[in-house]
Amino acid sequence: MQSISFCVFLALVCVTFCLVSENVEVADAAEDAKNGVYIVYMGSASGSRIDFLRLLNSVNRRNVLVHTYKHGFTGFAARLSEHEAQAMRQSPGVVSVFPDPILKLHTTHSWDFLVSQTSVKVDANPKSDSPTSSSQPYDTIIGILDTGIWPESESFNDKGMGPIPSRWKGTCMVGDDFTSSNCNRKIIGARFYESSESDGIRYHSPRDGAGHGTHVASTAAGSAVANASYYGLAAGTAKGGSPRSRIAMYRVCMADGCRGSSILKAFDDSIADGVDVLSLSLGSPSFLRPDLTADPIAIGAFHAVEKGITVVCSAGNDGPSSGTVVNDAPWILTVAASTIDRDFESDVVLGNKKVIKGEGINFSDLQKSPVYPLIQGKSAKKASASEDSARICSEDSMDEAQVKGKIVICESSVEGGGSDWQSQAETVKSLGGVGVVLIDDDSKLVAEKFTTPMTVISKKDGPEILSYVNSSRKPVATILPTETIINYKPAPAITYFSSRGPNPAVLNIIKPDISAPGVNILAAWLGNDSSSTPQATKSPLFNVISGTSMSCPHVSGVVASVKSQNPTWSPSAIKSAIMTTAIQTNNLGSPMTLDTGSVATPYDYGAGEISTNGALQPGLVYETSTTDYLLYLCGRGYNLTTIKSITTTVPDGFDCPKNSTTDYISNMNYPTIAVSELKGKESKKVIRTVTNVGGNGETVYTVSVDAPEEVEVKVIPEKLKFAKNNEKQSYQVVFTPTASTLKERVFGSITWTNGKHRVRSPFVVTSESSEP
């Protein structure tokens, strides 16, 4: 039985699940209807097929099996009762059994901006034996797990692209309004997955029904398209970060969410298909951060990285609170969102000739002269309504006679920032108002698309417009249509919605890893979307949207470029190259800030803003080994039995250290450094190893340290000498408090330079302890 082939195994599974026994009772069908889908994760793909088969045979009702996982890891998703799920948790070979979660989507001039920000100059003609060159083109394949793709978009034309790489083993699935001819030499693969839920199949196709996947795919690898714009705004050439890369789309999401069982199946398929990079602009909300062994993305990414695939994920949109970052496993490249130097400006002109800068996308048809009466929402309140509800223009709070024909000033409707502008705009419009001026900092940062004359001004400009209204006998104003502003400063800045580090349970690693443009990004869109167009014209071919969903594919595009130049580099080497060459300054030459103006930290942006070409020649890289990841699992409290079930790459003789602590996580060979529980006079030491990838010949790197006054930081040795390429050298960093009481969190950096390359690693030191 141990030598049973997988084909025979699948046949037996089919017999188990596809044949309906004559004695199936009606009660079983009723039980099926109320059971949920559970994921049964059994770790490494080379684990026992016998245990797998036995578990499947233990469930013998019809319509139970949803997915099987067989390429990168072993397991299945099935409709089970909680009793059956609990029984499976006790079975040998099972790592975890958990309910099928629904994850959420984390919803081009940006590339030109990134290029302009990059100070690193790449050799025009690197030597043929340099690790940053390749004697033959390497067609990188980017796998994208999202809502599908709109193949007719010009961003996915394959003009000038060569034959599909022979190593590609994937497929182009046929579905509703999608045939094999919708794939080409750009879109080389397309799959879709259904959850088999009781509400039935909603969209049986790889075709994008939401727009999100199309936008993400074109950002990462879209072909260059001239004269692209959103109804004339953000005009220019739209292109992806790696326009020569191939795209493989795995539709795992609808607009309302993504099934964990489908995500795992897409990971499993993509490993077998032969992708080089996986890009996931989705994840759990921060308040539902799952355990590692119940996290479909962490599980799938672990096995993908084992197979040499770099996995890039969005950090989440739950900022600006700290401790909100998700997709934070160390084998994932986690991406925060930042602004670019493009602004969408829609100004308010007052009757006193003052112009107040507003933002947002609207195509106002109002007169350009200020002739429309201007009032505050609270001035039009109904007798039965509260002043606060009218101030924020709540539904049924204002009198129609007072609003009709006027521009209404509404204030932020969400405590702490943010606004339900759709409801506010609709309320004013329904009462006959001609326009809305919203006072709200958060909504001002993201260019919302307004279907009526509406703009957003900052809270600091709010008093000026309110003063004008209150001091004028007949205040008037107008709202101008949006104009595109280029070279906006300061940029980049970390946007308010981008999730922040750290994970409170793991203070010994810095997450997110990197930041990239995620605000007001122009990219390809559906060809039939007229639901939200601000003009009564044909649907836009390109759309402007924001989120860490948009920052993630920017990094995926750079990963693909690095991979194309360095096809033998591991995922951790590629990640290191991107992180250690990141940028920490804005286009004013000042330290990067948050959108509030305060200086950003590694908990906001990781190593910094991504550089488009610095990662092609990083000089040194930190390669994170399998043992590092195993020690991370030990430090998270997993025992050796569980770890050996997860992976077959456990080195001989490896065991979790006795009394494993999170200090072992600090010693992962990661490009950033985080130390926790540094108290009193105690010192803590971490070790790092770097590999020389800067070319052949001798070179010497010298260290410089930027440390806060609260901590003494000593690096031993202070110089690293390399005699050849691919040589490794190690160093120690000793952290010692200089004060009896350390601040909760202090930041600094360690930088190695040899005159040509600059290899920077930020660090954080805290007196805090990780939460259990």
The percent helix, strand, coil of the chain (3-state, each to 5) is 25, 25, 50
Q: Is the pLDDT of residue 397 over 80?
A: yes
Q: Is the pLDDT of residue 134 over 70?
A: no
Taking alpha carbons only, the member of 543, 484, 518, 525 closest to residue 609 is 518
> 331 and 360: one domain?
no
pLDDT at 9 (0 to 100): 29
Query: What does DSSP assign to residue 757?
Result: -
pLDDT at 711 (0 to 100): 94
Q: Is the pLDDT of residue 118 over 90?
A: no
Residue pointed to by tokens 């804005």: 586
Of 432-446, 505-519, 565-579, 713-727, the range with the lowest mean pLDDT is: 432-446
Average pLDDT (552-572) is 96
- Reported confidence tier of residue 145, pLDDT bands at 50, 70, 90: very high
Q: Is the pLDDT of residue 321 over 60?
A: yes
pLDDT at 137 (0 to 100): 53
Q: Is the pLDDT of residue 119 over 60?
A: no
pLDDT at 21 (0 to 100): 28
Is 646 a domain residue? Answer: no
Of 69-83, 378-392, 582-596, 602-616, the range with the lowest mean pLDDT is: 69-83
> 367 and 336: one domain?
no
3-state per-residue secondary structure call for 310-375? EEEEECCCCCCCCCCCCCCCCCCEEEEEECCCEEEECCEEECCCCEECCECECCCCCCCCCCEEEE
pLDDT tens track for 340-374:
999 999 999 999 999 999 999 999 999 999 999 99
Instruction: Give the CATH number for residue 29.
Output: 3.30.70.80
Share of the chain above pLDDT 70, in %: 86
pLDDT at 644 (0 to 100): 87
Catalytic sites, residue numbers? 146, 212, 549
> 583 and 683: one domain?
no
Domain containing residue 54: 6-100
Asked whether the bond before 320 is cis by omega within 30 degrees of 0, the reply is: yes
pLDDT at 46 (0 to 100): 61
What is the C-alpha to C-alpha distance for residues 199 and 418, in angstroms, rounded to an integer?
Answer: 34
> 269 and 376: one domain?
no
pLDDT at 533 (0 to 100): 59
Is 125 a domain residue? Answer: no
pLDDT tens track for 250-274:
999 986 789 999 999 999 999 999 9
End-to-end CA distance of the chain: 42
Total of domains in the chain: 4
Contact 216, 278 (CB under 8 A): no
> 599 and 704: one domain?
no
Give the residue from 432, 455, 482 where a domain finishes.
482
Contact 598, 693 (CB under 8 A): no
Average pLDDT (158-162) is 94
pLDDT at 198 (0 to 100): 41
321 half-sphere exposure, CB direction, 13 A CA radius? 12
Is 575 a domain residue? Answer: yes
Average pLDDT (49-78) is 76
> 462 and 364: one domain?
yes
Coil, strand, or helix at residue 631?
Answer: helix
Is 529 a domain residue? Answer: yes
Q: Is the pLDDT of residue 333 over 60?
A: yes
Is 611 a domain residue? Answer: yes
Query: What does DSSP assign to residue 224?
Result: P
Q: Is the pLDDT of residue 279 over 70?
A: yes
pLDDT at 495 (0 to 100): 94
> 44 and 60: one domain?
yes
Give the residue from 439, 455, 482 where a domain finishes.
482
Is 116 a domain residue? Answer: no
> 337 and 375: one domain?
no
pLDDT at 555 (0 to 100): 97
Is 498 a domain residue? Answer: yes
Instruction: Give the CATH number for residue 215.
Output: 3.40.50.200
Of 42-51, 293-302, 477-486, 689-698, the range with the lowest mean pLDDT is: 42-51
Q: Is the pLDDT of residue 101 over 70?
A: yes
Q: Are strands 673-675 and 719-722 parallel, antiparallel or unpaired?
A: unpaired
pLDDT at 113 (0 to 100): 60
pLDDT tens track for 485-537:
999 999 999 999 999 999 999 999 999 999 999 999 999 999 888 765 565 56
pLDDT at 451 (0 to 100): 83
Angle (deg, nearest 10), helices 548-565 and 109-117 = 60
- Reported confidence tier of residue 202, pLDDT bands at 50, 70, 90: low
> 144 and 255: one domain?
yes
What is the C-alpha to C-alpha distance for residues 553 and 282, in angstroms, rounded to an integer?
Answer: 11
Residue count (the chain): 772
Share of the chain above pLDDT 90, in %: 69
Instruction: Give the CATH number for residue 436.
Output: 3.50.30.30
Average pLDDT (120-134) is 34
pLDDT at 10 (0 to 100): 32
Instruction: Give the CATH number for residue 755.
Output: 2.60.40.2310
Contact 526, 214 (CB under 8 A): yes
Helices first, then strands: H and E counts in the chain = 19, 39
Average pLDDT (211-215) is 95
Give the residue from 41, 71, 100 where a domain finishes.
100
Average pLDDT, the chain: 87
Q: Is the pLDDT of residue 468 over 70?
A: yes
> 250 and 143: one domain?
yes
Q: Is the pLDDT of residue 200 over 80?
A: no
- Reported confidence tier of residue 416, pLDDT bands at 50, 70, 90: low
> 351 and 321: one domain?
no
User: Which residues lie across from 493 on neighbouring strands?
Assistant: 593
Q: Is the pLDDT of residue 470 over 90?
A: yes
Is 540 a domain residue? Answer: yes
> 73 and 156: one domain?
no
